Chain A
Amino acid sequence: MRDPRRASRIVSYILLAPIVAFFVSPILWLIVTPFSIRPSLFISLNGFTLNNFTRVFQNRTAVNAFRNSLVISVSVVVLVTTCALLAAYVLSRHDFKGRNVLLYMLVLFSSVVSGAAAMVPIFILNLRLGLINTELGVILTLSGGIMPTALFILKDFFDSIPRTYEEAALVDGSSPLQVMFRIFLPLSSKGVIVIAMLVFTQSWSNFLVPFVLLRSTSKYPVSVAIYTFFSEVGVPDIGMISAYAFLYTLPVIFAYVLIERKFGFSFYGGIKG
């Protein structure tokens, strides 16, 4: 007996194959090329070598950029997560006058004004504040850009945590601070970690902000440093770029795997009803 669904399944495979190839091939290139002796724009492994990596590690700018990226990203994560956590808690748990107007304005400004369009005013703002060519300028600008998204996701997540836990803790004799640290933070830790993760990947991969605000090569994060790997005549050094890009994606993948392992993206409930 032939399965009547077979034909349609074959058709869907044919349609899906190019889409899969489109997404998979860059990743394959990224995995294969750094280890290739003669790296090219094609996915081909002709002989195994670690030479490309050695060259990356001998390059001062490249190594420095990793440090810079780490400083910027970790600072942004700490700043955004802390601020978004506190703000989202208040916005989720306290109904004060003008709360909805405030939220609406935040949505409006964060979604309507895109980062690229605001680049010129942001540059001028940083210039006036004397933050051009400083890591602080990059950190603050990136934080400001990611903050609204982080805030909204966290607020939504907090809204989904039933209030009864906190109320039960209050009646059980806790002070408001104890409720925050003993009950609310442990319950919301998953959401907070997911947000921290999101903020990290966003700031780790951002190119435009550091590119516009930073002048000296020694301060470049990885995303901008990659851009400097051209030979004098403007030909890209594919071996080095691929090896560097490979190293560049590792922390993000590592962070994802770690969090998946440790926390698993699921929420557990103890509320019945």
Chain B
Amino acid sequence: MSWIVLESVTKRFSNVVAVNKVNLQIERQDFFTLLGPSGCGKTTTLRLIAGLEFPDEGKIYIAGRDVTMELPKNRNVAMVFQNYALYPHMTVRENIAYPLFVRKVPKKEIERKVAFVAESLQISDLLERYPQQISGGQQQRVALARAVIQTPNVFLLDEPLSNLDAKLRIEARSFLKRLSMELGTSVVYVTHDQSEAMALSTKIAVMNQGHVLQVGTPRLIYDTPANTFVASFIGNPPMNIVECRFDGSTCVLDGQRIDLSDLPLSEFPKERGFIGIRPENIAFHTKEGDLIGEVYVVEPLGFETVVTVKVNTSSLRVLVFEDVPYKSGDKIFLKLRKDKLHVFDESGARILRRDEA
């Protein structure tokens, strides 16, 4: 049995189904990310694992024990909240010591552990201050310290980076990854930021409207998204997904035909369907290509350049890593990397290749 198991867990708030028959298996060494847009049920899922909400249906197991209806204190979990929730009437030291204090750990040991944790998170000089007297980044470290001082079965992190400014967030991200390797137990992480999910996780579960759409390693989800939602949610800039008509193995996009007969697909959509291709898998060509379009916007980002190209009524984003001599209005050919092209059926589900089981 996996370390944490959710078995067709459903949670309703009055008439809204926040989490709908979710099944998850999280292993002990996993850095497991719940990823999705706001309101998709990811935070509710985390709160269900923490014991702050109780499911209407289904079962939850942590470390092989059924904890479905257990109070949080009987689950041995540690959680970092989005707003850190540091107790404002306690000093940093008291905040960090609180989980041990309520578990009646001897004073000597608490002191020793607080000193150790504070040292390793570099907040030793802040111990006598109050939470409102330290900066956001420091508050985040204190919140982490309060979690890591315990030896929980699982660490639950609810968007811990979202309150930090962009520069600090990148720093904290690397720090968090380093920390998670030393924790030695599973981490469940909630975020709406796909780059955070990609950078940190060993496994990602993409959620939308209470459903888990796909679970897998970041690479797997990036390379073989299960449907158009996952495909467009992961990656920045996101995957180009264009609706088109299929004529056998030929895709007709606003009158332009793309021959896809080389693709070893199990089947092609009957009539309506979608093709998806990531911006970095499209190349420019001056004389020939699969599609002809018109440059719409050029956005140089320093290291890379994002070019939006209009192909009749659809637009495609192209990511290139050199300067482009084009300007708005230029006619241009686009070459698509066929091996990186995905075909989705009418309902948005990805059509498997013959070599994929």
Contact = CB atoms under 8 A, between A and B. Distances in A.
Interface of A: 162, 164-165, 167-176, 178, 182-183, 186-187, 268-273
Contacts of B82: 273
Contact of A187 (B77, B88, B139): B88
B71 A271 contact: no
Interface stretch (B96-104, B227-235, B253-261, B262-270): B96-104
B96 to A, nearest CB: 10
B85 A162 contact: yes
A171 B79 contact: yes
Query: Is chain A's binding surface mostly helix, strand, loop or mixed?
Result: helix
Contact of B88 (A169, A175, A270): A270
Interface of B: 50-52, 71-73, 76-79, 81-89, 98-99, 102-103, 130-132, 136, 139, 146, 150, 156, 163
B83 A172 contact: no
B89 A186 contact: yes
Given A172-B99, A173-B102, A167 B85 contact: yes
A172 B102 contact: yes
Nearest to A165: B85
A169 B73 CA distance: 9
B86 A171 contact: no
A256 to B, nearest CB: 23
Nearest to B103: A173
Contacts of B52: 167, 170-171
Contacts of A169: 87, 98, 102
Given A167-B81, A173-B150, A272-B83, 17 more contacts: A165-B85, A167-B85, A170-B51, A170-B52, A170-B71, A170-B72, A171-B72, A171-B156, A172-B102, A173-B76, A173-B102, A176-B71, A182-B102, A269-B88, A269-B132, A270-B84, A271-B85
A272 B78 contact: no
Nearest to A179: B102
Contacts of B163: 272-273
A167 B81 CA distance: 9
A183 B87 contact: yes
Nearest to B14: A95
B282 to A, nearest CB: 39
Nearest to B146: A172
Contacts of B146: 172
B128 to A, nearest CB: 15
B16 to A, nearest CB: 15
A229 to B, nearest CB: 47
Contacts of B150: 172-173
23 contacts: A167-B81, A169-B102, A170-B52, A171-B50, A171-B51, A171-B78, A171-B156, A172-B146, A173-B102, A173-B103, A173-B150, A178-B102, A268-B88, A268-B132, A270-B85, A270-B86, A270-B87, A270-B130, A270-B132, A271-B83, A271-B85, A272-B83, A272-B139
